[in-house]
């Protein structure tokens, strides 16, 4: 009698699986190469008729994996049976290649063998193994499936009739009865038992009830059935192998000769003229020494690594890059780079808190351009520029969002041009630009209706922009232009970051948030109110723009200062956003030599480290100096006197501040202080001290 040959399973991977694996790797697995559960499914084997020859062509015995394969509540599509599996993803191609595949395979086969010995659950008889290496930067996936099947020794043989039509032998009524009973089940059976009843009908039952179901059934009325993924008339599908091993192991006395039904009629034939597809065959095995297995029985050897398209034992590669939308590729690539931070270095990093922060950049010059780039690097998705200028010929070499072409024909508006440039860099960004002049103290609004209504419109525009954003960057080129957004930002409780440049020095600071007397930080201590850009001033901001020489009009700086200050400001924001107190994060004292642990204990550290109040950098000595300055209760920018006057009176109050350089000094009492002389100034409680390095 000929030996039974089995049609091997082949993997069918829907591309969605790779996308899911990418997410799993980036967000969950990270650097872990631990095994994770995965599910797939197979259905009854299908064949197609060749249009030329009229011959039936068998399709491969596919195990399909796809988008739901990592779901814990995976269920197979209708008519298919689910297959449990194990995924093992390696971190490097070298590890993938060097992996001990025999050991991995055997441990999967052991799971199946344990199932036979212990739970006897036939849904676990067809497990699969998938080992992978995901090159996430190139969207290339190296993978290799294995479908462990036990080797029967001696081999099964098939009786003379071979595989033949079940319809011819059992009749349409019996097959119909099986079909009806199967479809009444909530899930498909991979395997089932059929019993020809004395009445002439048929019954079915799970394989797990073998002993009871066949207790009083003659062996000629016993038919063992399985959902056969193979449509090859000569070769039953791979799942039969482990079933045979199962039966031989558990019921050796009654299973050396078996009638096997290859069930393929998930759908009954649509008309009486079309034959049923299922086949029957009688298999025998030479019964050597039939012993019931026990928990110590050795596992039979197993085979089942899938061959690659070249017909060799080796991995396959899925290259998804060519089929992906480039914009989506870019978005994923950018995300990936950020998420990698959490793999090894900072699992606690809350990237979404940074990327969801809407940032308003006041000034689209050297600082504005560099700040935008660093924000984009952090994955920030909403960046809005405000500037009143146009791109001039000296800009592109220092302002990294402009190029020569932007300077022609008088120059593009800087804010809009910078926003367009961000989109060219990363199409997924939400970037906009607004050409807007920010009214300033010391620059009186001409007393005519149109000038005043223009100033009012400008103020309202700025108010609504600040309202719509979470963080406001002050990146302008004059002191007084920062006053209005300082006031509005403080009143609205926004994060305000300030960067200002000298020739070879810079100041980067975060404005202190408004504090209520009751509020406390995560460390249980009361919030401290830190100062703003104006807290050190003893006069109100005034016109510093008129009458400037060329070197004062241009920001004359060492070219490296702006990228350093801009990146520092963005990193300060990132650290602040990671601190539990966010905008109220306490500033580390300037002279601290405290250890990382001590700072953490004091509640000074975010996941990213300390959150200083001010940083002054000096390129002449290549040094950076952290400073702390308390808020000043007569400050023209952030004191309650000013904020409450603004909140009470709105635009008329601001108009007074623009027009009358004495107004703010009178309002805050700075004028009296000034009159009282220098001695009074020395009483101000400054904590701004130089670090001693």
Q: Would you count residue 12 as binding a copy of itself (CB under 8 A)? A: no
Least distance from a copy of itself to the Cβ atom of residue 208, Å: 44
Of 518, 519, 514, nearest to 529 by C-alpha is: 514
CA dihedral 282, 288, 291, 293 (to 10 degrees): -70
Least distance from a copy of itself to the Cβ atom of residue 374, Å: 5
Of 477, 333, 343, 361, nearest to 419 by C-alpha is: 361
Neighbour count for residue 462 (Cβ, 10 Å) = 23
Choose the binding region for a copy of itself from 312-320, 451-459, 609-617, 632-640 (rule: CB under 8 A).
Answer: 609-617
Of 32, 6, 422, nearest to 230 by C-alpha is: 6
- Of 57 and 425, the one with the shorter C-beta distance to a copy of itself is 425
121/242 Cα distance (integer angstroms): 12
Task: Single out the residue of 161, 353, 548, 662 in contact with a copy of itself (rule: CB under 8 A).
Answer: 548
- Of 11 and 22, the one with the shorter C-beta distance to a copy of itself is 22
Q: Would you count residue 91 as binding a copy of itself (CB under 8 A)? A: yes
250/191 Cα distance (integer angstroms): 15
Token look-up 């220098």 returns 678
CA dihedral 415, 417, 419, 423 (to 10 degrees): 180
Peptide bond into 655 cis (omega under 30): no
- Binding residues with a copy of itself: total (CB under 8 A): 93
Judged by CB under 8 A, the chain residues 27 through 86 that form the site for a copy of itself are: 30-31
DSSP secondary-structure letter at 446?
Answer: P
- Of 292 and 553, the one with the shorter C-beta distance to a copy of itself is 553
Q: Would you count residue 327 as binding a copy of itself (CB under 8 A)? A: yes
| DSSP letter for each residue of 26-38 | IIIITT----EEE
Judged by CB under 8 A, the chain residues 573 through 592 that form the site for a copy of itself are: 574-575
Q: Would you count residue 94 as binding a copy of itself (CB under 8 A)? A: yes
Choose the binding region for a copy of itself from 195-203, 237-245, 257-265, 333-341 (rule: CB under 8 A).
Answer: 333-341
Task: Single out the residue of 46, 140, 316, 558 in contact with a copy of itself (rule: CB under 8 A).
Answer: 558
Least distance from a copy of itself to the Cβ atom of residue 65, Å: 22
Judged by CB under 8 A, the chain residues 644 through 673 that form the site for a copy of itself are: none
266/269 Cα distance (integer angstroms): 9
- Of 373 and 482, the one with the shorter C-beta distance to a copy of itself is 373
Of 560, 541, 558, nearest to 637 by C-alpha is: 541
CB-based contacts of 132, cutoff 8 Å, min separation 6 = 21, 87, 88, 89, 90, 96, 141, 142, 143, 144
DSSP secondary-structure letter at 448?
Answer: S
- Of 251 and 618, the one with the shorter C-beta distance to a copy of itself is 618
3-state helix, strand, coil in the chain (%, to 5): 35, 20, 45
Q: Would you count residue 353 as binding a copy of itself (CB under 8 A)? A: no
- Of 193 and 349, the one with the shorter C-beta distance to a copy of itself is 349
Q: Would you count residue 356 as binding a copy of itself (CB under 8 A)? A: no
Least distance from a copy of itself to the Cβ atom of residue 601, Å: 16
Task: Single out the residue of 172, 336, 491, 539 in contact with a copy of itself (rule: CB under 8 A).
Answer: 336
- Of 426 and 686, the one with the shorter C-beta distance to a copy of itself is 426
Judged by CB under 8 A, the chain residues 108 through 137 that form the site for a copy of itself are: 136-137
Judged by CB under 8 A, the chain residues 360 through 399 that form the site for a copy of itself are: 370, 373-374, 376-379, 392-394, 396-398
Choose the binding region for a copy of itself from 213-221, 270-278, 337-345, 469-477 (rule: CB under 8 A).
Answer: 337-345
What angle do helix axes 483-491 and 640-649 make, rounded to 10 degrees? Answer: 80
Q: Would you count residue 543 as binding a copy of itself (CB under 8 A)? A: no
614/569 Cα distance (integer angstroms): 10
- Of 619 and 673, the one with the shorter C-beta distance to a copy of itself is 619
Q: Which residues are catalytic?
A: 554
Judged by CB under 8 A, the chain residues 209 through 248 that form the site for a copy of itself are: none
CB 206 within 8 A of CB 122: yes
SS3 category, 104? helix
Binding mask 132-161 for a copy of itself (x = CB under 8 A): ----xxx-----------------------
Least distance from a copy of itself to the Cβ atom of residue 525, Å: 21
Binding mask 415-434 for a copy of itself (x = CB under 8 A): ---------xxxx-------
Least distance from a copy of itself to the Cβ atom of residue 557, Å: 8
132/33 Cα distance (integer angstroms): 10
Q: Would you count residue 549 as binding a copy of itself (CB under 8 A)? A: yes
Task: Single out the residue of 623, 669, 672, 676 in contact with a copy of itself (rule: CB under 8 A).
Answer: 623
CB-based contacts of 195, cutoff 8 Å, min separation 6 = 202, 203, 204, 205, 213, 214, 217, 221, 222, 223
| DSSP letter for each residue of 153-215 | SS--EE-TT-SEEHHHHH-HHHHHHHHHHHHTSSS--SEEEEEE-TTS-EEEE-GGGHHHHTT
- Of 7 and 374, the one with the shorter C-beta distance to a copy of itself is 374
SS3 category, 325? coil
- Of 45 and 612, the one with the shorter C-beta distance to a copy of itself is 612
Choose the binding region for a copy of itself from 149-157, 221-229, 469-477, 566-574 (rule: CB under 8 A).
Answer: 566-574
CB-based contacts of 108, cutoff 8 Å, min separation 6 = 86, 127, 128, 129, 146, 148
Q: Would you count residue 624 as binding a copy of itself (CB under 8 A)? A: yes
- Of 274 and 693, the one with the shorter C-beta distance to a copy of itself is 693
Least distance from a copy of itself to the Cβ atom of residue 383, Å: 11
Least distance from a copy of itself to the Cβ atom of residue 427, Å: 6
Task: Single out the residue of 520, 621, 644, 666 in contact with a copy of itself (rule: CB under 8 A).
Answer: 621
CB 60 within 8 A of CB 115: no
CB-based contacts of 74, cutoff 8 Å, min separation 6 = 39, 68, 82
Binding mask 284-323 for a copy of itself (x = CB under 8 A): ----------------------------------------
Task: Single out the residue of 130, 204, 247, 561 in contact with a copy of itself (rule: CB under 8 A).
Answer: 561
Least distance from a copy of itself to the Cβ atom of residue 195, Å: 55
- The CA distances from residue 167 to 15, 158, 225, 544, 684, in Å, are 39, 19, 14, 99, 101
243/191 Cα distance (integer angstroms): 8
Choose the binding region for a copy of itself from 272-280, 493-501, 618-626, 643-651 (rule: CB under 8 A).
Answer: 618-626
Task: Single out the residue of 27, 50, 71, 95 in contact with a copy of itself (rule: CB under 8 A).
Answer: 95
Q: Would you count residue 498 as binding a copy of itself (CB under 8 A)? A: no
């Amino acid at each position: 009698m000929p030996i039974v040959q089995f049609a091997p399973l082949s993997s069918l991977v829907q591309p969605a699986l790779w996308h899911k694996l990418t997410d799993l790797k980036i967000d969950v697995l990270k650097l872990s190469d631990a095994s994770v559960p995965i599910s797939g499914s197979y259905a009854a084997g299908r064949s197609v008729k060749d249009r030329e020859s009229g011959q039936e062509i068998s399709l491969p015995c596919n195990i399909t994996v796809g988008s739901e394969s990592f779901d814990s509540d995976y269920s197979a599509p209708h008519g298919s049976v689910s297959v449990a599996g194990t995924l093992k993803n390696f971190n490097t191609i070298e590890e993938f290649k060097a992996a001990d595949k025999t050991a991995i395979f055997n441990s999967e086969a052991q799971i199946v063998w344990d199932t036979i010995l212990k739970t006897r659950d036939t849904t676990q008889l067809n497990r699969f193994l998938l080992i992978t290496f995901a090159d996430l930067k190139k969207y290339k996936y190296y993978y290799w499936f294995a479908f462990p099947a036990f080797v029967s020794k001696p081999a099964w043989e098939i009786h003379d009739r071979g595989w033949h039509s079940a319809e011819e032998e059992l009749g349409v009524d019996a097959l119909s009865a099986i079909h009806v009973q199967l479809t009444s089940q909530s899930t498909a059976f991979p395997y089932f038992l059929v019993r020809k009843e004395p009445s002439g009908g048929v019954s079915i039952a799970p394989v797990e009830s073998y002993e009871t179901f066949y207790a009083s059934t003659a062996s000629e009325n016993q038919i063992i059935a399985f959902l056969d993924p193979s449509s090859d008339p000569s070769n039953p599908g791979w799942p039969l192998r482990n079933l045979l091993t199962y039966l031989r192991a558990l019921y050796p006395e009654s299973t050396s000769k078996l009638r096997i039904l290859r069930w393929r009629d998930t759908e009954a034939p649509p008309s009486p003229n079309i034959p049923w597809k299922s086949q029957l065959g009688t298999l025998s095995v030479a019964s050597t020494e039939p012993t019931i297995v026990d928990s110590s029985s050795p596992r039979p050897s197993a085979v089942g690594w899938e061959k690659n398209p070249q017909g060799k034992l080796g991995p396959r590669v899925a290259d998804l890059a060519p089929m992906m939308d480039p914009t989506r590729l870019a978005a994923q690539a950018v995300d990936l780079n950020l998420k990698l931070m959490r793999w090894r270095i900072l699992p606690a990093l809350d990237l979404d808190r940074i990327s969801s922060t809407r940032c308003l950049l006041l000034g689209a010059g050297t600082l504005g351009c560099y700040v935008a780039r660093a924000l984009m690097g952090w994955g920030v998705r909403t960046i809005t520029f405000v500037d009143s200028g146009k791109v001039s010929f000296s800009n592109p070499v220092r302002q990294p969002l402009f190029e020569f072409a932007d300077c022609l024909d008088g120059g593009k508006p800087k804010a809009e041009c910078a926003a367009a440039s961000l989109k060219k860099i990363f199409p997924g960004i939400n970037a906009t630009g607004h050409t807007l002049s920010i009214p300033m103290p010391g620059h009186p609004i001409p007393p005519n209706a149109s000038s005043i209504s223009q100033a009012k419109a400008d103020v309202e525009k700025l108010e609504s922009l600040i309202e719509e954003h979470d963080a406001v960057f002050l990146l302008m080129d004059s002191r007084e232009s920062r006053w209005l957004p300082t006031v509005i930002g403080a009143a609205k409780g926004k994060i305000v970051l300030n960067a200002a440049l000298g020739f070879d020095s810079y100041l980067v600071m975060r404005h202190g948030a408004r504090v209520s007397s009751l509020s406390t930080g995560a460390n249980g201590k009361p919030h401290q109110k830190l100062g703003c850009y104006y807290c050190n001033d003893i006069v109100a901001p005034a016109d510093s723009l008129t009458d400037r020489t060329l070197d004062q009009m241009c920001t004359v700086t060492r070219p490296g200062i702006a990228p350093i200050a801009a990146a520092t400001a963005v990193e300060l924001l990132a650290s602040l956003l990671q601190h539990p107190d966010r905008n109220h994060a306490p500033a580390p004292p300037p002279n601290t030599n405290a250890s990382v642990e001590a700072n953490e204990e004091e509640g000074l550290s975010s996941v990213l480290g300390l959150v200083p109040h001010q940083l002054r950098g000096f390129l002449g000595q290549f040094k950076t100096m952290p400073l702390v300055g308390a808020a000043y209760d007569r400050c023209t920018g952030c004191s309650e006197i000013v904020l409450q006057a603004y909140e009470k009176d709105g635009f008329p109050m601001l108009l007074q501040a623009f027009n009358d350089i004495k107004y703010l000094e009178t309002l805050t009492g700075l004028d009296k202080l000034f009159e009282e002389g220098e001695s009074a100034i020395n009483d101000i409680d400054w904590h701004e001290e130089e670090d001693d390095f």
